[in-house]
Structure 1
Amino acid sequence: MSTPTPPQPNFPPPLPPEPPKPAKSRTNLVIMGSAAAAIAAIVITGVAVANSDGSDEADATPAPTITVTETAEMTDQEILDKSMEILESAEADVDAGIEPDVTIPAVEETEEEPEGPLTSIDEGTYLVGEDVKAGSYKTSGPSDGMCYWARNKDDSGELKAIIANDILKGPGRVTLNKGEIFETNGCDTWQLAE
């Protein structure tokens, strides 16, 4: 009698083996290293040829100083010390016959605002003749809501100090005299009338 064969499990077929990965070539590293060495040799030879004038003596001209700057918070004393160090180094270079290569930037001349009283008035309180020029000023009216102005004898804020005042709903004009206090609130800029 024959023995029955047990049922075989249904496994998927095995995957083919992965092809072997190529070994990292040391040849590339050797080539790169040789190329770097060759470049360095060319640079060194070029510098030596550039510095030679037919004699075996080295060129005595000092090489330029390279300064690396780093941003850091310094105390006033550290800034003074560093400044003195730079000045002493510059003096030593000059004493050694090295001319400093210094470029002084051009100073741009800017137009300064004219001294004296203003000829246009924005919101605030002004002394006529000192803060603003005396004369006749005009405005286009309220900038937002209502436009209030007042000419005052002084800046006490008392009612008896008011010479004249008004609330404008449209354009307005006022003449300011030297020594008065002019107050404006909510008005477009007042301009001196020509």
Structure 2
Amino acid sequence: MAGTTAAAVAAIVVVGVLVADDDGSSDAEPAPIVTITETETETETETVELTDQEIIDRSLEIIESAEADLDAGLVPDVTVPAADPAPTEEEEEPVGPSTSIGSGTYLVGEDVKAGSYKTSGPTDDMCYWARNKNDSGELEAIIANGILEGPGRVTLNKGEVFETSGCEVWELAK
């Protein structure tokens, strides 16, 4: 901004010199007063989460505003955020129980589908699994359990509680 101010002052001096006669008098009107204003604008950015529909609605508002500006002869500077495409049937989140099981405790039929599952074995040294009657944690609740050092398979029935730790992901067998 300092360079702009210096240029404006130089322009005023040149105008004053050019309108004066040889004797320093002038028939011209007084030189205009030049005022230089400097404005600083501070911008704050806030990140918000929008639903797909909110993004679509906002995009339509921006497009309509841009069309109105074009109709009025204005050329808008518009950036339209890209909306995520609507999910296809293949991309939709699975509804209902999962068919993949990681470490944890799961209610069969609610958290995971009933059926036969297989794993490639332990993630480190040991892979533990247990089929339980309930989630009480008591020894009497265990229907069957095992420790795998390699690949394994287990069949889970609806209503059982399946517990696993240290295993690669269990996948529903096809």
Tell me the TM-score normalised to structure 2 length. 0.54
Between the aligned partners of 1:106 and 1:72, the Cα distance in structure 2 is 18
Larger radius of gyration: 1
Between the aligned partners of 2:152 and 2:80, the Cα distance in structure 1 is 53
Cross-structure match for 2:44:
71
1:156 to 119, 136, 151: 136
1:60-104 CA-partner distances (Å, limit 9, x unpaired): xxxxxxxx552289xxxxxxxxxxxxxxxxxxxxxxx9x9x6765
Cross-structure match for 1:187:
167
1:135 to 105, 110, 115: 115
Gaps of 5+ in 2: 1-5, 13-40, 47-71
Between the aligned partners of 1:141 and 1:149, the Cα distance in structure 2 is 11
Amino acid of the residue matched to residue 163 of structure 1? I
Amino acid of the residue matched to residue 107 of structure 1? A
**Identical pairs, percent:** 69
Cross-structure match for 1:171:
151
Q: Report the alpha carbon displacement of residue 112 of structure 1 after superposing the two structures with TM.
A: 4.0
**How many positions carry a matched residue from both structures?**
114
**Residues 72 and 139 of structure 1: CA distance in aligned 2, closer, same or farther (over 3 Å):** closer
Stretches (4+) displaced over 6 A: none
Q: Report the alpha carbon displacement of residue 115 of structure 1 after superposing the two structures with TM.
A: 1.9
Cross-structure match for 2:52:
none
Between the aligned partners of 2:97 and 2:159, the Cα distance in structure 1 is 12
Gaps of 5+ in 1: 1-31, 39-67, 74-96
Tell me the TM-score normalised to structure 1 length. 0.49
**Residues 72 and 146 of structure 1: CA distance in aligned 2, closer, same or farther (over 3 Å):** closer
RMSD: 3.6
